[in-house]
Structure 1
Amino acid sequence: MTGWTGRTAVEIADAVRRNEVTPREVVAEHLERIGRMDERFGAFRAVLAKEALAAADALADAKDRTDLPLAGVPVAIKDNVPVAGQATRNGSAASPTALAAADHETVRRLRAAGAIVIGLTHVPELCVFGTTDGAHGVTRNPWEPTRSSGGSSGGSAAAVAAGLAPIALGADGMGSIRIPCACCGLVGLKPGAGTVPCELGTNGWYGMAENGPIATTVADAWLMYQVLAGVEEPSHEPSASGPLRIAVSTRSPIPGVTVSRGWARGAREAARLLTQAGHHVEAADPPYPWWLGIAATARWTAGTANDAAHLDPRQLAPRTRRHAAIGRLVQRSPLPDTDHRSQLRDRMLPFFERHDALLTPALARPAPSAKDRHRRGWTTNLLANTRFSPFTPPWNLAGWPAAAVPFASSERADRSPYAVQLVAPSGSEERLLALAGDLERLRPWVRLAPVD
């Protein structure tokens, strides 16, 4: 790569503030790369070239850019988040084509920080499943195009991994930031509940969904998170708080789901590196309750039923129709409104009183193949999602922050992405990204897929 594609958000913003490059030059280079490469990956549903160049020119005309933390940085937006003047299709042929009257608050904050919206990224229909395929196409993993980029923020992750945008906005209701970041070798943070404005769909799957950053470095993820959280003067990197007590667990939270040997080995190797960094690490399994999968699935299906309530079911994919139908049955039960969040937190807090953070594999196995999975049945998709990603949903139900961090085991012969998950109680976003920074220094990852 040459020029400004492939640079980090921190590098681009610093150069724009110093007048070393114009915002138009940065945006134009990224648009050229999208036009040349995205047909291979299917990251974008809509590329906003005219709007992005106009925003770049407006930024160039601004009298003072010195206080803009994301000055001139192109950002991709997941297509379930409203962007003014654009339709929010949410991966569905059934979704309204009406144009959004205003930006979502997260988009407004990104623009206010100087970021330039460059396009809307693909998602699976209603963001339900962990692979990105549907009415608007199949999104492929830039590292391994025969495999999925993950989901539901699969388009956002593919765009960043391929160098089409330095950062992207994702949303995570059952792992939808962490899953694609793990597939695509990126840093992804699901913030804790109430930290970043959400307001997704009808009720954000009964409070499980959160918006968060997708980036290639810890510094970029930390900067974008602070902007999304409304921090007025973002710091350059997360500050460490001394040696931490870290639990490492490779046991699946879902009974009967096995974890592949390579992904379990990688988590243990990451634990050894953190020990070398001075942290106190021990093997310990969280006390996952037996009802965890039932409670998370109840909110997942019932939330989808709410989101699909005003859509033409004939235009929904069969797996989505079935998911919403099950959700309507679930809504007749007490499950969606039972306070499982408090119950799960009460169960987990003694564990986190003994440990400052939890380290697990981010996934249980590699990304599935890139196919039109929306044409397959609901049960097939449910089983594939469960086998692929059992580690992410508990922390949506708990409402606690969790991050996916690239980490390639030294025993792997290839350089395809691998990742670990870091988890801690409410208010620990900085702690998690500081730990991610330790892994970044100890085992630097290849930031971008070798797609040129």
Structure 2
Amino acid sequence: MTGWTGRTATEIAAAVGVRQVAPREVVAEHLALIERLDPHVGAFRKVLAERALHDADALAGRADLAALPLAGVPVAIKDNLPVEGEATRHGSAATPDTPATADHETVRRLRAAGAVVIGLTAVPELCIFGTTDSVFGTTRSPWDLSRSSGGSSGGSAAAVAAGMVPIALGNDGMGSIRIPSASCGVLGLKPGAGVVPADLGVDGWSQMAENGPIATCAADAGLMLRVLAGDGGGLDAGAGLTSLPADGAADAVPLRIALSARCPGPGIPVDPAHTAAVRDTGRHLAAAGHRVGRAEAPYPLWLGAAAVARWLAGTAAEAARLDPALLAARTRRHAALGRAVTRAGLVRPGQRTRWQERLEHFFTEHDVLVTPTLARPAPPAERWHTRGWAANVLSNIRYAPFSHPWNLARWPALALPVPVALIPVAPAAGGSVASAPGAAGRLPLSVQLVAPPGGELRLLALAAELERRRPWPRTAPEAG
């Protein structure tokens, strides 16, 4: 590692704050890495090079530089969040190329903390599907360029995994932070309801979607979450994010950890390597003194249908404002089904309440649940947006069935890299592992940590503890 690429956000902000390095130097090094790597990875829809350098120069003149928690830190923004002066394209040819008049509140908070917006990251059309490709290009995992980065925050996760930025902003309506974070070997947190300003689309897919951080380490994720949440943001006041335990301990007393590898979707097989990642996580947590045992999550049979109904209805609401002739065929089909679901009254508030009640009962005996994040490796990096609706939905359901329950519940959930097993993966069907930077042909594993409302800090503290005990590679090989 040389220079400032590959450093953590925490390291960069500390150095910029004491004027050890100028913000322009940090930003310029990251822009150079983007220029070298992104033609292979495809993480960015638009790189804001000139503007980022201008903003870095302006930041350098501030007298309060040392007080800014993200001073000089390059950050990437998912391209469904408004950035003032830039079009928000949502991965679609149907959206207007009209500059936003103001930053989204989360973007405003990042800038106010000293972060420098370096680019807008790629998403699938309307952020619907679990692979990131669109008319603007295809995004690949920096670990294996023959594989998708996942979605819909695939560009954000790939940018972080490749070291092109230390942190990125994503959002998650059916797993859209956790799925790509798992596919790209980084840490991604979906906060619970009310912690970070959402304001996503018409109604955030029936209030399932939240904005959150994607980072290479627990400290950076915590730093970014603190900025995004702001004062009074709904974080547990009894365990402020300003002080994650220095020794990595998650709590003063042992936590009750439940391990569950059972898939929420009946009949969907789970790759043995992903199940093994859960067991390995349990071993490390038990060694840290926590009380760990197997306890299957109480998924009801109707859970998937309830989440999918909201997924469909949310797409219909977003597509209603756009010219259908300019939408991909799979999106038009998804929206049509969403209109049917809405007319039939299948989005019912009682479903969420019933699920939350089940969880509350389960969590009277457990503090944290550990599951796989994915059921299998991400699909091949292909032009999925040109394929049929059924092929896309089947692929998504088969590889990423573990995330949607926590969107329906509106509970916090975190995707955490597991370094003990980088599974050798054969080249994707119809292609070969490319020889460009980052094409290692080996994919990271990931586990998902879930806690009740207010548990974001507990999840981050557990992540920090696991990171200390079994540190993972923070960026993909040859990418930092």
TM-score between the two structures when normalised by the length of structure 2: 0.92
Contact persistence 1:82–1:88 (CA under 8 A): yes
Distance between the aligned counterparts of 1:412 and 1:306, measured in 2? 39
Contact persistence 1:143–1:451 (CA under 8 A): no
Matched, 1:19 2:19: yes
1:429 to 423, 439, 456: 456
The 5-angstrom pairing of residues 261-410 of structure 1 reads 261-410=272-421
| SS of residue paired to 2:289 | coil
Distance between the aligned counterparts of 2:422 and 2:57, measured in 1? 48
Distance between the aligned counterparts of 2:414 and 2:422, measured in 1? 23
* Residue 237 (structure 1) aligns with: 244
Cα displacement string for residues 203-244 of structure 1 (whole angstroms, at most 9, x for unaligned residues): 100100000000000000010011100048951536722310
The 5-angstrom pairing of residues 143-292 of structure 1 reads 143-231=143-231, 235=242, 237=244, 240-241=250-251, 242-292=253-303
Query: How far apart are residue 411 of structure 1 and its match?
Result: 8.3
Over 3 Å counting, the alpha-carbon distance change for 1:374 and 1:412 in structure 2 is closer
Contact persistence 2:152–2:180 (CA under 8 A): yes
The 5-angstrom pairing of residues 1-20 of structure 1 reads 1-20=1-20
Contact persistence 1:142–1:451 (CA under 8 A): no
Query: How far apart are residue 408 of structure 1 and its match?
Result: 2.7
| SS of residue paired to 2:242 | coil
Cα displacement string for residues 151-188 of structure 1 (whole angstroms, at most 9, x for unaligned residues): 00000011011111110000000000000000111010
> Which letter maps to 1:145?
L
* Residue 472 (structure 2) aligns with: 445
Contact persistence 2:173–2:209 (CA under 8 A): yes
Distance between the aligned counterparts of 1:16 and 1:372, measured in 2? 41
Distance between the aligned counterparts of 1:231 and 1:31, measured in 2? 32
Distance between the aligned counterparts of 2:358 and 2:280, measured in 1? 28
Structure 1 spans left out of the alignment, 5+ residues? none
* Residue 72 (structure 1) aligns with: 72
The 5-angstrom pairing of residues 42-57 of structure 1 reads 42-57=42-57
| SS of residue paired to 1:367 | coil
> Which letter maps to 1:358?
L
Query: How far apart are residue 435 of structure 1 and its match?
Result: 1.0
Matched, 1:94 2:94: yes
Distance between the aligned counterparts of 1:192 and 1:115, measured in 2? 24
Contact persistence 1:219–1:236 (CA under 8 A): no
Distance between the aligned counterparts of 2:256 and 2:408, measured in 1? 23
Contact persistence 1:223–1:237 (CA under 8 A): no
**Aligned residue pair count:** 452
Over 3 Å counting, the alpha-carbon distance change for 1:412 and 1:151 in structure 2 is closer
Contact persistence 2:147–2:381 (CA under 8 A): yes
Contact persistence 2:156–2:214 (CA under 8 A): yes
Q: Which moved more, 1:49-58 or 1:166-175?
A: 49-58
Cα displacement string for residues 123-145 of structure 1 (whole angstroms, at most 9, x for unaligned residues): 00000000001111000110000
Contact persistence 2:83–2:100 (CA under 8 A): yes
Query: How far apart are residue 334 of structure 1 and its match?
Result: 2.0
Cα displacement string for residues 339-361 of structure 1 (whole angstroms, at most 9, x for unaligned residues): 32211101111110100010001
Over 3 Å counting, the alpha-carbon distance change for 1:59 and 1:236 in structure 2 is farther
Over 3 Å counting, the alpha-carbon distance change for 1:234 and 1:271 in structure 2 is closer
Query: How far apart are residue 200 of structure 1 and its match?
Result: 0.7
Distance between the aligned counterparts of 1:340 and 1:104, measured in 2? 30
Distance between the aligned counterparts of 2:231 and 2:147, measured in 1? 37
| SS of residue paired to 2:147 | coil
Distance between the aligned counterparts of 1:438 and 1:250, measured in 2? 21
Query: How far apart are residue 82 of structure 1 and its match?
Result: 0.4
| SS of residue paired to 1:409 | strand
Over 3 Å counting, the alpha-carbon distance change for 1:293 and 1:234 in structure 2 is closer
* Residue 32 (structure 1) aligns with: 32
Over 3 Å counting, the alpha-carbon distance change for 1:410 and 1:148 in structure 2 is closer
State the Cα RMSD in Å.
1.4
Query: How far apart are residue 338 of structure 1 and its match?
Result: 2.9
| SS of residue paired to 1:369 | coil
Distance between the aligned counterparts of 1:352 and 1:191, measured in 2? 18
Distance between the aligned counterparts of 2:263 and 2:188, measured in 1? 21
Query: How far apart are residue 363 of structure 1 and its match?
Result: 0.4
Distance between the aligned counterparts of 1:412 and 1:52, measured in 2? 37
Contact persistence 1:78–1:169 (CA under 8 A): yes
Matched, 1:61 2:50: no
> Which letter maps to 2:343?
R
Query: How far apart are residue 50 of structure 1 and its match?
Result: 1.4
> Which letter maps to 1:136?
F
* Residue 119 (structure 1) aligns with: 119
Contact persistence 2:241–2:457 (CA under 8 A): no
Cα displacement string for residues 35-79 of structure 1 (whole angstroms, at most 9, x for unaligned residues): 121100000001111111111111111112121100000000000
Distance between the aligned counterparts of 1:136 and 1:315, measured in 2? 14
Cα displacement string for residues 336-393 of structure 1 (whole angstroms, at most 9, x for unaligned residues): 2433221110111111010001000110001111000111111111111011011000
| SS of residue paired to 2:144 | coil
TM-score between the two structures when normalised by the length of structure 1: 0.98
Distance between the aligned counterparts of 2:57 and 2:387, measured in 1? 46
Query: How far apart are residue 410 of structure 1 and its match?
Result: 4.8
| SS of residue paired to 2:142 | coil
Structure 2 spans left out of the alignment, 5+ residues? 233-239, 425-440
